[in-house]
Structure 1
Amino acid sequence: MKEKYGIIDIGSNTIRLVIYERQKSGRLREIENVKAVARLRNYLTDAHILTEEGIFLLLDTLRSFQEITRHHQLERVRCVATATIRQAKNKQEIIELVEKNTDFHMRVLTGVEEAYYGFLAVVNSTPITEAITVDIGGGSTEVTYYKDRELLESYSFPFGALSLRQTFVSGNVPTEEELKRLSIYLTEQIQSLPWLSEKKVPLVSMGGSARNIVQIHQLMKQYPLAGVHQYEMKRKHLFDVRKLLMSLSFEELQKLEGLSKDRADLIIPALEVFCALYDTVDASSFVLSRKGLRDGIFYEELIQPFGTQLFPNVLQESFYELAQDYDIRLDDVQHVNQLLAQLVAQIRKLKLYPITEEDVHDMKQAAHVFYLGQYIDEEASSQHTFYLLANRTIDGLMHKDRVKLALIASYKNKPLFKQYIAPFSDWFSKEEQRRMRFIGALVKFAHSLNDTKRKIVQHITLTKQPGAIVMDIICTGDFRAEEYQAEKNKKQLEKIWKQPIELRFRQ
């Protein structure tokens, strides 16, 4: 049986059970995600006592989750609680009741721990090395500042989307006057932390409210790509969403695509937090991390045995997972990269094409996942490769870079490239598109030199002859299969160089 892990996140707004299954790559895949909108915050009195009704609701929800965890035969389930339980004066009684009446032992996180797990999730799933992170819950908001992937500052504000709505909004949606008072309060609170001011770094946000804001914006602009993790917005985009939300009635908000119905009355207060933070930080962008508190807890558990809590390289980890999931042989990747290095050196020597270091970097990445769609179907491997890479979340790659990788790694010919890039054509300049076609053609040619996976091609030399480029290819075995594929694939390079290539295979 595959290993399974469960985690219950008892928040102020929602209580959620997530079950993960470990894949052969070691990656945890979510197989169950059950949410209960309990709004425990509503049962916390002014004296900070969680009422009997609130405790009953918590226990009843946990017992319903218990049926699912028992069905999956989970031996250990992490159960953590955040702001509402943390702020409750009767939290010890609640902990004991949970332990007595359910299978679970509830751990109440401090604000510092909650902020730390959010940081850990972001730094292990994005390429961003310096940022401010923010996680808005129902009853608290955690912020951190990290640089060079090292946590430097953290703080937990004692307000969240639900408590802000309770304090500042009389109806289901705020009036202009209520929104103004809320904005002034948030700006004062946020500016009380000097380390947030004028950082000019990305603002990386976690949680359901941030995810809903991204989903709304993607629908507003008819975004052509799947997935929200590492999606990037600018200040104007946040305020465009704000303008849309403020123009709708509560009934219209409940029906708005991309917005969870149960979050319709919380989304505007949450967005106000993001806007106030963005302006205080003078952020360079607003980035969504789909990974948050729950992932941070698992990262700690899974990576810590290796003496660290950080992946050394987020993107390398993702490529390792892709290799495992799609049966990519890393020794073949290494050999193709060696052939590419020889080709690059020869092309630069003859000044056939101005290859940059960024091009070399892109080649190496594409060689790692070139035609991985063969795992699904050999005949349509290019199409499958593009679809898989463009639509699968790859931790460490922002959306534009993911599309770029998909275009290069799936390269077959110019017409197919134009078909793939059509929804994204305004993302890339004409020069960038030409470079991607060249890199794709070169990677495809290098792969053809290892067609039988025997690694027989050892040395490549290019020379300019009158009317042609001659490529001498030295092999250690019978090269007929490689020669056939190379002859077939050289025409893409010939079109780019605008001259014929003569292949000379020798054993």
Structure 2
Amino acid sequence: MTEQRIGIIDIGSNSIRLAVYERTANGAHRVIDGGKRPARLSGEIDEQGRIRSEKIDELIGILNHYRLICAHHRTGRIRAVATAAIRNATNRDEVVERLLNETGLAVEVLSGEEEARFGYLGMINTIDIREGFLIDIGGGSTEISLFRDRTLVQSVSFPFGCVNMTRAFQDDSGMLADDDLSVLEHAISKALDQEPWLSWTPGLPLIGVGGTVRALGKLDQAATRYAFPLTHNYAISSSNADAIFDQLRTMPLDKRRKVPGLSKDRADVIVIGMAILRVIYRKLRSTHYLICGAGLRDGLFFDTRFTNQSRLDDVLGYSVRNLSLLHPEAPQPHLMQVNRLSMQLYESLKKQASLPARTEVWLDAASSLFRIGASIDYLQYAKHTFYLIVNSNLNGLTHREIVLIAAIASFKSKSRFRQQVAEYRELLDEADIEIVAQLGMLLQLAVALDRSETQSIGRLAISVSQGTLKLDALTCSGPLDVERAEVDELSKDFRKIWQLTPILHSPYIV
């Protein structure tokens, strides 16, 4: 039983997208449906700056289709927004009125600043980063924002994008001549000069949202045969981006459509989009590109759902809680007990193992998610937990950290771990194997300490003495026979990794 569903429709200059968000009865959020239709509205402007009537008819048809999908899902609200193409059209009011009359949707026409703010909100709630520049190259506009200490400082919207600039500079074969590239770069650079603050803070990453940078990420991953199937939070060097640009610019359009990693509906505008991106990167004197898979629609969702506090303070914490609530088969009291005991064990043993500080974050997440695989099959939940973590939207982490947390949450043995991560091996180093084994075994011990899932252990005193890990249950609500048997069974494997034999004592055990 769902409490509420929200439909978000983004009428962009290049495409029209739908995302249907669901809030489940226990408070988790997820996307349950979506759609994407090419629009190229920025390429359908006549000499008077009007969107052509036949294009409006096409837009109405798409919106009515999306409205039916939302009705099928019984959405409580549909929020539809339009960006640069409709914003800049001379018949903007007529378009909005027709859309209202013929679809029933009151479309919000976002200003450039609003568009930048929602894009920032989508990014800052899904990537754990303190400062940088954010760029969104759309079909008819480009937004650039500066954020410091996770707070939006300044933003600007320029009236050029990958569609309207492709129309102006690229020939019919899809080629961009040297002279045209020079003129394009000069025009963009001149526009950027009107905003001097863009050059005041060099040395920051350039985070990109939108189709152009997502396409760049997929192209780079295809070229390097990258192991992890996710572009969100993926870093690209300027040299790699330049090499991809140079390769694509020399290709006619028919060949470009066959390039691995590049979708056919992006092939005709990717070169101009990347040309814009590169000029801005150089102007900002950025360190590298970072791809963000979230964007405007995600920002609109957060703004709609969390009206009073739309910016998250803890990206990873929210994401872990949300993923756990999406797979609620494991009792929450048991998960909380295992998490508490895991972190207490970590605190007691971290100095002995010289564990890096970030490992605390990994164990915290893994000990909250270790049972989500039971939503598929309890008997093999560890295997399914690994798969779900690797293939879910776990935000606030690098790709390497996602794999490590999945491995910790599902750890059984080093040999099994090596098999699990074989396809992601290039992301890991040899030291990661030992860290996963140590943290995975701490988690297994914490699970054993609540094997009856009754949270019997209250206060637990932990001490190390002469190769023994003493676990004294100072307070407990009943006999710990099951827990003691589980700890004894685990002790041999635990000793192999930690060189300590765990022994559980309680007032009920003589």
Shared fold per TM-score greater than 0.5: yes
Determine the structure 2 residue equivalent to 1:387.
387
Determine the structure 2 residue equivalent to 1:53.
54
SS in 2 for 1:54: helix
Determine the structure 2 residue equivalent to 1:303.
306
Determine the structure 2 residue equivalent to 1:131.
132
TM-score by length of 1: 0.91
Determine the structure 2 residue equivalent to 1:190.
192
Aligned equivalents of 1:82, 1:152: Cα separation in 2 = 22
Task: Report if aligned partners of 2:487, 2:503 keep a CA contact under 8 Å in 1.
Answer: no
Determine the structure 2 residue equivalent to 1:363.
363
Alignment of 1:209-220 (within 5 A): 209-220=212-223
For residue 232 of structure 2, the aligned residue among 229, 232, 237 is 229
SS in 1 for 2:358: helix
Aligned equivalents of 2:123, 2:339: Cα separation in 1 = 30
Task: Report if aligned partners of 1:83, 1:139 keep a CA contact under 8 Å in 2.
Answer: yes
Aligned equivalents of 1:342, 1:113: Cα separation in 2 = 45
Moved more, 370-379 or 476-485: 370-379
Task: Report if aligned partners of 1:472, 1:506 keep a CA contact under 8 Å in 2.
Answer: no
Aligned equivalents of 2:88, 2:345: Cα separation in 1 = 63
In 2 relative to 1, CA 364–40 (structure 1 residues): closer, same or farther, beyond 3 Å? closer
What are the superposed Cα offsets for residues 189-209 of structure 1, whole Å, 9 maximum, x if unpaired? 334422222432221111122
Deviation (angstroms), 1:503: 5.1
Deviation (angstroms), 1:345: 4.9
Q: Does 1:77 align with 2:78?
A: yes
Aligned equivalents of 1:170, 1:57: Cα separation in 2 = 26
One-letter amino acid of the structure 1 residue matched with residue 245 of structure 2: R
One-letter amino acid of the structure 2 residue matched with residue 380 of structure 1: Q
Task: Report if aligned partners of 2:13, 2:138 keep a CA contact under 8 Å in 1.
Answer: yes
Determine the structure 1 residue equivalent to 2:373.
373
Task: Report if aligned partners of 1:342, 1:460 keep a CA contact under 8 Å in 2.
Answer: no
Aligned equivalents of 1:450, 1:78: Cα separation in 2 = 46
Q: Does 1:417 align with 2:417?
A: yes
In 2 relative to 1, CA 298–359 (structure 1 residues): closer, same or farther, beyond 3 Å? closer
Alignment of 1:465-480 (within 5 A): 465=466, 468-469=467-468, 471-474=470-473, 476=476, 477-480=478-481
Determine the structure 1 residue equivalent to 2:89.
88
SS in 1 for 2:421: helix
In 2 relative to 1, CA 431–87 (structure 1 residues): closer, same or farther, beyond 3 Å? same
Determine the structure 2 residue equivalent to 1:464.
465
Task: Report if aligned partners of 1:370, 1:410 keep a CA contact under 8 Å in 2.
Answer: yes
Moved more, 246-255 or 134-143: 246-255
Determine the structure 2 residue equivalent to 1:398.
398
Q: Does 1:272 align with 2:275?
A: yes
Task: Report if aligned partners of 1:230, 1:287 keep a CA contact under 8 Å in 2.
Answer: yes
Determine the structure 2 residue equivalent to 1:339.
341
Moved more, 1-10 or 129-138: 1-10
Aligned equivalents of 1:414, 1:38: Cα separation in 2 = 51
Determine the structure 1 residue equivalent to 2:152.
151
Aligned equivalents of 2:60, 2:348: Cα separation in 1 = 69
Q: Does 1:485 align with 2:486?
A: yes
One-letter amino acid of the structure 2 residue matched with residue 16 of structure 1: R
SS in 2 for 1:5: strand
What are the superposed Cα offsets for residues 415-441 of structure 1, whole Å, 9 maximum, x if unpaired? 011112323333333223312211111
For residue 180 of structure 1, the aligned residue among 171, 179, 182 is 182
In 2 relative to 1, CA 187–423 (structure 1 residues): closer, same or farther, beyond 3 Å? farther
Q: Does 1:103 align with 2:104?
A: yes
Task: Report if aligned partners of 2:227, 2:426 keep a CA contact under 8 Å in 1.
Answer: no
Unaligned runs of 5+ in 1: none
Unaligned runs of 5+ in 2: none
Task: Report if aligned partners of 1:386, 1:406 keep a CA contact under 8 Å in 2.
Answer: yes
Deviation (angstroms), 1:95: 1.7
Aligned equivalents of 2:502, 2:67: Cα separation in 1 = 67
SS in 1 for 2:212: helix
Aligned equivalents of 2:99, 2:59: Cα separation in 1 = 8
What are the superposed Cα offsets for residues 127-154 of structure 1, whole Å, 9 maximum, x if unpaired? 1121211111111011111111211101
Aligned equivalents of 1:279, 1:25: Cα separation in 2 = 47
SS in 2 for 1:16: strand
Aligned equivalents of 1:344, 1:55: Cα separation in 2 = 60
In 2 relative to 1, CA 99–489 (structure 1 residues): closer, same or farther, beyond 3 Å? same
Aligned equivalents of 1:230, 1:79: Cα separation in 2 = 27
SS in 1 for 2:470: strand
Aligned equivalents of 1:278, 1:461: Cα separation in 2 = 53
SS in 2 for 1:312: coil
Task: Report if aligned partners of 2:175, 2:251 keep a CA contact under 8 Å in 1.
Answer: no
Deviation (angstroms), 1:117: 0.8
One-letter amino acid of the structure 1 residue matched with residue 316 of structure 2: L
Aligned equivalents of 2:75, 2:371: Cα separation in 1 = 37
Deviation (angstroms), 1:66: 4.1
Alignment of 1:443-458 (within 5 A): 443-457=443-457, 458=459
RMSD: 2.4
One-letter amino acid of the structure 1 residue matched with residue 401 of structure 2: D
One-letter amino acid of the structure 1 residue matched with residue 59 of structure 2: L
Moved more, 198-207 or 332-341: 332-341
Task: Report if aligned partners of 1:227, 1:393 keep a CA contact under 8 Å in 2.
Answer: no
Moved more, 231-240 or 129-138: 231-240
Task: Report if aligned partners of 2:319, 2:393 keep a CA contact under 8 Å in 1.
Answer: no
Determine the structure 2 residue equivalent to 1:162.
163
Task: Report if aligned partners of 1:141, 1:160 keep a CA contact under 8 Å in 2.
Answer: yes
In 2 relative to 1, CA 502–32 (structure 1 residues): closer, same or farther, beyond 3 Å? closer
Task: Report if aligned partners of 1:130, 1:149 keep a CA contact under 8 Å in 2.
Answer: yes
SS in 2 for 1:283: coil
Matched residues, number: 501
Aligned equivalents of 1:491, 1:180: Cα separation in 2 = 68
One-letter amino acid of the structure 2 residue matched with residue 40 of structure 1: L
Determine the structure 2 residue equivalent to 1:199.
202
Determine the structure 1 residue equivalent to 2:252.
249
Aligned equivalents of 1:417, 1:20: Cα separation in 2 = 35
What are the superposed Cα offsets for residues 395-431 of structure 1, whole Å, 9 maximum, x if unpaired? 2222122112112111111101111232333333322
In 2 relative to 1, CA 168–496 (structure 1 residues): closer, same or farther, beyond 3 Å? same
TM-score by length of 2: 0.91
Deviation (angstroms), 1:234: 2.0
What are the superposed Cα offsets for residues 89-142 of structure 1, whole Å, 9 maximum, x if unpaired? 221122222222222112211111111111111111211121211111111011
Q: Does 1:21 align with 2:31?
A: no
